[in-house]
Structure 1
Amino acid sequence: MNQEYLFEVSPKDEAKRLDLFIKEKFPELSRNRIQALIKENYVLVNFKPSKASYKIKRGEKIKILIPPDKEIDIQPREIPFEIIYEDEDIAVINKPSGIVVHPAPGHYEDTLVHGLILKLKNLSGIGGKIRPGIVHRLDKDTSGIMLVAKNDFAHKKLVEAFKERLIEKTYIALVYGRLIQKKGKIETFIGRHPVARKKMAVLKEGKLAITFYEVLEIFNKASLVLAKPVTGRTHQIRVHFSYIGHPILGDSIYGGLKHDLFKPPRLMLHAYEIFFKHPRTNEAMKFRAPIPEEFQKYIQILKS
């Protein structure tokens, strides 16, 4: 059964966005869930459907119906990814571009998790039913290396190591334009975009984000770079290179679709290398995910 709530907009809430008003009332709901409720007309303003960006007015009645969570039954499924390394505690895998890591609103099927359940015998349970084994994520269109926890002991240790910034990740990216400075550090504050809620942005009130980079090769209108994020903010590398005027090629969200270059086959960002200490043995480990074929072919196009 749906849970039903009715609010009247007070003077202090006037002119707030509808989605932000709901988030304040229901902090446990994700932004994606709130957007979906509004889109599917579970939220009514003066008993009429509205938009997430609508600025609410004093005295308006806001009715919110919250349906029960969709029961997700994740069945093992053949999903294309490579297992680079595996032992009793962890797996290191290579995720292709175009695959969502775990089920989420709008994408419940054919995720990496469906494939992990099929190929790996054990996965940690701390992430819950929809995120078994997942200790960090890659964006859907980013390819490359990921760490997976096969039990709760490894999960806790790896999450702690990420939190303490003890796990080093290196990405390879193709960015627009000629990056003249061969090495650099991008340091900003990143937060949720105030209007386009699916985007991140450089904001004063955001969280500290640091990315080091090194230019590997410069082409006519693009540069091949190594990027090392110190922090792990959502979309961090994509936001940072866009911020300095060199968006990642193929990035439709942060300005990486350029008409003066041959269209890239995908987002040109690849998680290339990971360095960490094994959660049980403390052994230093380093793994690389080869640069995908379509990525290499596009580099050859830029060279020619």
Structure 2
Amino acid sequence: MEERIFEFKVEELEVGKRLDLFLKEKLPDLSRSRLQELIEASLVQVNERVVKPSYKIKLQDLIRIKVPTPQPLELKPKDVPFDIIYEDEHIAVINKPSGVVVHPAPGHQDDTLVHGLLKKLQNLSEIGGKIRPGIVHRLDKDTSGIMLIAKNNHSHRELVEAFKQKQIEKTYIAIVYKHLKPKQGRIETFIGRHPVHRKKMAVLKEGKLAITLYEVKEYLYKASLVLAKPITGRTHQLRVHFSHLGHPILGDPVYGGLKTDVPKPQRLMLHALRIKFLHPKTNLEMEFETPIPEDFKNYLTLLKK
């Protein structure tokens, strides 16, 4: 594929949009993170000037973007632990263990899920860029459970849009601190980047809307076993929401889940249990569930005693 160059002129109805969001609408094949990388690399110019991704576009701005030729994946396939639950030529459904980082990032360059995907799957979508092939959504390092993987660009686009339209239903199981009441509820807040601790998220008035539905399945020793369905997909959403209620997920060192009056778990007690979606090619409804990991079950048994 050759280098591509695009030019756009801002029209009246587009004035005031962020540059990266404007380009995402114009170039849906490119992820927002990829567009931000191009902007930061000075490959996007507004009126022949380099600007930031957050630049608010103005009427008649001339925007020029250069998309370089994709480089071959530099990541080497490796044996990384995960199970394939389902696979066809378009998608794969996998079970990620706790402790595995999804894709390379500062501090985690090797032994990520992506390295393992390159080893076990023959094809992966390219839209996420060279360090995120196949990745349409992610789980935190210490969260275990089910993930959807795109094996081609068509599936990637369809799945990303389905997530955006809230058409993919995910169910998590968690153990939270103390007895959560009422037994069923809806958590609705705004979540954004913490103003001081930039690696954390927080409930903020100026954040993005975040909605979680939950149901308590069982009360345990100073804890609750909870099913949670995130309606939106904000970073760390479940961890932030339960912490906000005063019931942090046990084993969470960031959002207050390390409590001294309950047995200490080996890791974050959060597992992506189930996913329900329409197949991106056949449009057939599909649903998959992963078993609760042994370390999660052992801790659950301990709290029942």
Pairwise TM-score range, normalised by the shorter structure? 0.7 to 0.9
**Which residue does 1:56 correspond to in 2?**
none
Q: Can you give the 5+ residue segments of structure 1 that lack an aligned partner in the other structure?
A: 1-26, 31-70
Q: Can you give the 5+ residue segments of structure 2 that lack an aligned partner in the other structure?
A: 1-34, 39-71
**Which residue does 1:4 correspond to in 2?**
none
Matched, 1:266 2:295: no
Q: Which secondary structure does the structure 1 equivalent of 2:127 belong to?
A: coil
How far did 1:106 drift? Answer: 1.5
How far did 1:180 drift? Answer: 2.5
**Which residue does 1:161 correspond to in 2?**
162
**Quick one: which amino acid aligns to residue 207 of structure 2?**
G
**Which residue does 1:143 correspond to in 2?**
144
**Which residue does 1:235 correspond to in 2?**
236
Q: Which secondary structure does the structure 1 equivalent of 2:189 belong to?
A: strand
Query: Residues 244-291 of structure 1, C-alpha deviation per residue, up to 9 Å, x if partnerless?
Result: 000000000000000011110110000000000000000000000110
What TM-score does the superposition give when structure 2 sets the normalisation length? 0.76
**Which residue does 2:301 correspond to in 1?**
300
How far did 1:220 drift? Answer: 2.3
Measured in 2, the distance between the counterparts of 1:140 and 1:278 equals 26
Q: Which secondary structure does the structure 2 equivalent of 1:295 belong to?
A: helix
Q: Which secondary structure does the structure 1 equivalent of 2:186 belong to?
A: strand
Decide whether aligned partners of structure 1 residues 160 and 219 sit closer, same or farther in structure 2, where only a CA change above 3 A counts.
same
**Quick one: which amino acid aligns to residue 256 of structure 1?**
G
**Which residue does 1:105 correspond to in 2?**
106
How far did 1:73 drift? Answer: 2.4
**Which residue does 1:211 correspond to in 2?**
212
Measured in 1, the distance between the counterparts of 2:184 and 2:100 equals 31
Measured in 1, the distance between the counterparts of 2:73 and 2:252 equals 30
**Which residue does 1:15 correspond to in 2?**
none
Q: Which secondary structure does the structure 2 equivalent of 1:154 belong to?
A: helix
**Which residue does 2:196 correspond to in 1?**
195
How far did 1:149 drift? Answer: 0.2
Decide whether aligned partners of structure 1 residues 134 and 28 sit closer, same or farther in structure 2, where only a CA change above 3 A counts.
closer
Measured in 2, the distance between the counterparts of 1:290 and 1:100 equals 20
Q: Which secondary structure does the structure 2 equivalent of 1:159 belong to?
A: helix
**Which residue does 2:254 correspond to in 1?**
253
Q: Which secondary structure does the structure 2 equivalent of 1:126 belong to?
A: coil
**Quick one: which amino acid aligns to residue 240 of structure 2?**
V
Measured in 1, the distance between the counterparts of 2:199 and 2:125 equals 29
How far did 1:28 drift? Answer: 4.4
**Quick one: which amino acid aligns to residue 288 of structure 1?**
E
Query: Residues 30-64 of structure 1, C-alpha deviation per residue, up to 9 Å, x if partnerless?
Result: 9xxxxxxxxxxxxxxxxxxxxxxxxxxxxxxxxxx
Measured in 1, the distance between the counterparts of 2:277 and 2:184 equals 24
How far did 1:105 drift? Answer: 1.3
How far did 1:234 drift? Answer: 0.1
Q: Where do 4+ consecutive residues of structure 1 move more than 4 Å? A: 27-30
Q: Which secondary structure does the structure 2 equivalent of 1:115 belong to?
A: helix
**Quick one: which amino acid aligns to residue 275 of structure 2?**
I
Matched, 1:180 2:181: yes
**Quick one: which amino acid aligns to residue 150 of structure 1?**
K
**Quick one: which amino acid aligns to residue 94 of structure 2?**
I
Decide whether aligned partners of structure 1 residues 203 and 29 sit closer, same or farther in structure 2, where only a CA change above 3 A counts.
farther
Query: Residues 205-259 of structure 1, C-alpha deviation per residue, up to 9 Å, x if partnerless?
Result: 0000000000000012000000000000000000000000000000000000000
Measured in 2, the distance between the counterparts of 1:73 and 1:255 equals 38
Measured in 2, the distance between the counterparts of 1:261 and 1:94 equals 28
Measured in 1, the distance between the counterparts of 2:268 and 2:200 equals 16
Measured in 1, the distance between the counterparts of 2:194 and 2:292 equals 31
**Which residue does 2:134 correspond to in 1?**
133
Measured in 2, the distance between the counterparts of 1:144 and 1:219 equals 22
**Quick one: which amino acid aligns to residue 188 of structure 1?**
T
Query: Residues 59-117 of structure 1, C-alpha deviation per residue, up to 9 Å, x if partnerless?
Result: xxxxxxxxxxxx98210000000000000100000000011000011111110000000
Measured in 2, the distance between the counterparts of 1:251 and 1:284 equals 34
Measured in 2, the distance between the counterparts of 1:203 and 1:248 equals 20
Matched, 1:284 2:304: no
Q: Which secondary structure does the structure 1 equivalent of 2:287 belong to?
A: strand
Measured in 2, the distance between the counterparts of 1:125 and 1:106 equals 23
Q: Which secondary structure does the structure 1 equivalent of 2:166 belong to?
A: coil
Tell me the C-alpha RMSD between the 2 structures.
1.5
Query: Residues 162-216 of structure 1, C-alpha deviation per residue, up to 9 Å, x if partnerless?
Result: 0000000000000000112110000000000000000000000000000000000
How far did 1:29 drift? Answer: 6.7
Query: Residues 115-166 of structure 1, C-alpha deviation per residue, up to 9 Å, x if partnerless?
Result: 0000001001111110000000000100000000000110010001000000
